[in-house]
Amino acid sequence: MVTLDDITLAATRLRGIAARTPLIPYPRQRPSRELYLKPESLQPIGSFKLRGAFNKIASLSDAERRNGVISYSSGNHAQGVAYAARALGVSSVIVMPGNAPQIKIDSTRALGAEIVFVGPASSERKAKAEDLAREHGYVIIPPYNDEKIIAGAGTAGLEILADLPDAETVLVPVGGGGLISGVAAALKLSGSTARIIGVEPELASDAQASFRSGHIVEFSADQTSRTLADGLRTQSVGEINFAHIRRFVDDIVTVTESEILDAVRGLALDAKLVAEPSGAVTFAAFLFRDLPAAQKTVALISGGNIDPALLARVLSQT
């Protein structure tokens, strides 16, 4: 399990690399129900993934860095690994699904990574990365099931605690579980009494099914590929992540596709924040779910790498 010292060390490594994103009051909130947005979309790569990727690569030995790194991702972790590797002078290879948004493919390539394409299943890209790592000696940088990745993501939790120590509810997107594992650990290990609630699409609700059953539930790639929230199409949470979720997370809720798109639109028009569907699920939960009463809620907006055509379509439907 990740410790508070692990997360604090990650924060030291990330100083000057990852942005310290602010808490922005939602302009249309009611005085009795305050909402604060944490826009990880403002990171240099447009998502929180830089935190874990840099912490992991920075922790490698010189010999490991010389071998180069490889990862597997639908897009945001790909950019995080590519950015971190370039900053640390390490070569990187990323295995991506062929149906990844073009904006994420182009950004990953622009950051200097070599890209290998496979099918849509998260299990397929993981297997390909493992094959290439064995063949070439690359070090694997997992997208979520790793304590260094979790600790890096947890630095966002430390920032929430510093900026709003009396937060009562913190909403966090759930894909593979890296972000919620780290944020929940950072808050609970620091003594926060805030409720940590994960949010995922109804069409990819494997984390909720796992949380409620007490064991990891895996969905098929066909099931998870139905959601527009491409960053949350992971077929199951990681084993390390699930252990953290069971210990630190209070609940996991789901939102519909139409609710996610309404949230993307609302963030753009009201808060002036561009969020991808995966990042907007927390705002959707605040708007449309009957959450426990709270005076102060934080919605973590995990990323803003939305396809421009999709954003234009969403905004035209006002």
* Relative orientation angle of helices 4-14 and 49-58, to the nearest 10 degrees: 90
Residue 165, helix vs strand vs coil: coil
pLDDT value for 221: 86
Please state the domain count of the chain. 2
Residue 194, helix vs strand vs coil: coil
Residues 123 and 224 in one domain: no
Across all residues in the chain, what is the average pLDDT?
Answer: 96
Q: Is the pLDDT of residue 60 over 80?
A: yes
Which of 16-20, 97-101, 110-114 is predicted least confidently?
97-101
Number of H helices, E strands in the chain: 14, 10
What are the backbone angles phi and psi of residue 193, rounded to the nearest 5°?
Answer: -100, 10
Which of 118-122, 146-150, 200-204 is predicted least confidently?
118-122
pLDDT value for 147: 98
Q: What is the pLDDT of residues 16-51, one digit of tens each?
A: 999 999 999 999 877 789 999 999 999 999 999 999
Residues 101 and 134 in one domain: yes
Give the structural domain span for 88.
Answer: 50-140
* Mean pLDDT, residues 205-209: 98
Residues 120 and 196 in one domain: no
Which of 20-24, 101-105, 215-219, 294-298 is predicted least confidently?
101-105
Supply 238's token pair: 């990681």
Confidence band for 302, pLDDT divided at 50, 70 and 90: very high
Supply 249's token pair: 């997370």
Q: Is the pLDDT of residue 4 over 90?
A: yes
Residue with tokens 């690399």: 17
* Mean pLDDT, residues 215-230: 94
pLDDT value for 33: 92
Q: Is the pLDDT of residue 59 over 90?
A: yes
Percent of the chain residues topping a pLDDT of 90: 92
Confidence band for 120, pLDDT divided at 50, 70 and 90: confident
Residues 97 and 211 in one domain: no
Confidence band for 121, pLDDT divided at 50, 70 and 90: confident
Half-sphere exposure of 271 (CA within 13 A, CB side): 24
Active site residue 192: no
Residues 30 and 108 in one domain: no
pLDDT value for 31: 77
**Domain final position from 140, 159, 188:** 140
Give pTM, 2 decimals: 0.95
- Please, are residues 1 and 243 in contact by the beta-carbon 8 Å criterion? yes
Confidence band for 318, pLDDT divided at 50, 70 and 90: low
pLDDT value for 81: 97
Residues 29 and 135 in one domain: no
CATH classification of the domain holding 234 = 3.40.50.1100
Active site residue 59: no
Q: Is the pLDDT of residue 250 over 70?
A: yes
Which of 58-72, 109-123, 185-199 is predicted least confidently?
109-123
**Domain final position from 140, 164, 183:** 140
Buried-exposed string 182-199: b where 16+ CB fall within 10 A, e elsewhere = bbbbbbbbbebebbbbbb
Q: Which of 38, 49, 104, 128 is catalytic?
A: 49
pLDDT value for 103: 86
- How far apart are alpha carbons 175 and 210 in whole angstroms? 12
**Domain final position from 92, 123, 140:** 140
Residue with tokens 């028009």: 269
Residues 221 and 282 in one domain: yes
Q: Is the pLDDT of residue 2 over 80?
A: yes
Residues 216 and 289 in one domain: yes
Residues 105 and 193 in one domain: no
Q: 208: closest CA among 168, 240, 180, 167?
A: 180
